[in-house]
A and B are shown apart, each in its own frame.
Chain A
């Protein structure tokens, strides 16, 4: 080997002058991670499988809803829901072995021996796994635009949906990175991340359901109205004209549930966050629906919109005054000044993801004082 191995013969190293800026380090880790991901065949196979699955769901759904008015909106909602669902399945796999996988391959110590700080390593790895999961969103865009082209979805709704999907993928990626830094084995961290995502997606529903008994109010006085024909209606004329219907009001004692006290449990649910953040074209609908029940004009809400509506009902709590309009199927008038639930959800999820990243960052601090039993730093 040649003697030119030192930069200047006789130098004891130009190295003490070296400096790494914070974002320079993040960028370097990000670039390193992306290069490795882009060269892994598995990622492309997953993208292909994803494309095929979303495509099949989309085609089946478009055939099913073709006859419905406003099928574009329903289809769009469905695609968003599915992309979120599959995204929650894919994102942990793309992130939850990023740190301990490197540890197992012996490459984590190579990063730690350089000027990188634990924060830079985690930032770079998180951004890379987020971008990798955004690729799945990108692959889904043909279907999203197809559904948009069918009409009925306003651009704001589409934009916010995509934005919130991206945010959710980012949060799940952050959870995965944090856990992969904390857990020793990749398999363990991937399973744990899936469990956490399941906790958010299903655990929130189960907790909400189990707490239902706790928010019961017995003997609540509820005013209940319904339409009825007056007692003197002549039923020999069939059908009796609708304008003879009268609104009858009576008071009942019944059990109600104070869901407004527990609705926040649902806030951490990714589906609730995405669904609730999207500004649906409700204003447009109200204008159309001021006419009495007209099946042609009535717009069926899609999956995500239904979730959002449902959550807002739960947030509003028991309905002590059920009006005739509500019975007619116009839906309950919700107080407009309700604070939407999705910011709370984002805060809860961000605290969870941030906390895991913070703990993970502590685990990467070198010189390391404590190591988990049975692990080597390199």
Chain B
């Protein structure tokens, strides 16, 4: 089963462990040249799905192609095309950063010269050159995370599966990770990222698949996410004129209690409406000090879904 379309297409995937159904029914698509976010609460089946996509786990039912190949038919072909960055780091601690990458290259059958040059290139790309000859155990968690990304890229895979790649990274590294993933997608690769940090995904993901309790509950592009009804929060100094202005224009608002400062939250159905509201409030001489979306577009979707966040 081979088709020209790269990327990932999964339909009706289910997988249970004993009596526990980790994945009940997931439809998932990740086109080449785009970053696809996999979003869901803890225990919703994200890691299980990525393991299935990485050809490590067999689905109980459903159809699946990764890079155009069914992993159940030809796992080796999938593995040549897939780079996988696990959520557990799994680092050979006594090996140096360079050795980890060259060993990994050898396990993909890369010739010696190629894997050496590729390792050096990737270490430079993830800014670990100074640790090239240090054993991996001296690396911090964030550095190991970057090494793990380099490891997933060693054989220049067409499909990249990243399980929580941003966890443990400092802000600078997150920005770099974002740039890296974007550039990989721009080169035509299929990039799948699972993460909890929704504001990060907002900026890099082209589309998102939301899963909850082992089911894919929503599949949307970021453009779609941007056009949905969103919550905005508004602060003013003092707050009373703001309340009066909102009431006089018939805009419903609620006082939000989960922030340090008092703020009002309103529902806005489009960017135009947000612009209109801001202009109106400013014209009404309300001293606006903050006017912003309550969360990213993806967070908005996430919060609007019936998820178990307890």
Contact = CB atoms under 8 A, between A and B. Distances in A.
A11 interface: yes
Contact of B17 (A24, A39, A111, A373): A373
B187 A9 contact: yes
A29 B118 CA distance: 20
B81 A15 contact: yes
A18 B57 contact: no
Nearest to A110: B90
B193 interface: no
A25 B125 CA distance: 27
Contacts of B82: 113
Contacts of A368: 56-58
B75 A366 contact: yes
Interface in B96-146: 99, 103-104, 106-110, 118, 121-122, 124-127, 135
B81 A115 contact: no
A373 B180 contact: no
B76 to A, nearest CB: 6
A14 B125 CA distance: 18
A24 B180 CA distance: 32
Contacts of A369: 58
Interface stretch (B37-45, B149-157, B299-307): B149-157
A18 B99 contact: no
Interface residues of A, number: 49
B86 A367 contact: no
B156 A109 contact: no
Interface stretch (A30-38, A84-92, A222-230): A30-38
Contact of B158 (A12, A32, A111): A12
A6 B156 CA distance: 6
The size class of the interface chain B forms with chain A is 35 or more
A116 interface: yes
Nearest to B189: A12
Interface string B185-222: 00111000000000000000000000000000000000
Nearest to B153: A5
Given A11-B156, A28-B107, A367 B90 contact: no
B270 to A, nearest CB: 35
B103 A13 contact: no
B247 interface: no
A86 to B, nearest CB: 26
Nearest to B88: A106
B6 A15 contact: no
Nearest to B79: A115
23 contacts: A5-B183, A6-B184, A7-B118, A11-B188, A13-B156, A14-B156, A15-B156, A18-B80, A31-B106, A32-B103, A35-B94, A35-B95, A39-B94, A40-B94, A106-B90, A107-B91, A109-B56, A110-B86, A114-B79, A114-B104, A115-B79, A367-B71, A368-B57
Interface of A: 1-7, 9-16, 18-21, 24-25, 28-29, 31-32, 35-36, 39-40, 105-116, 366-369, 371, 373, 377-378
Given A18-B108, A35-B99, A36-B95, 9 more contacts: A5-B180, A12-B6, A13-B156, A13-B157, A36-B94, A40-B94, A107-B91, A371-B17, A373-B17
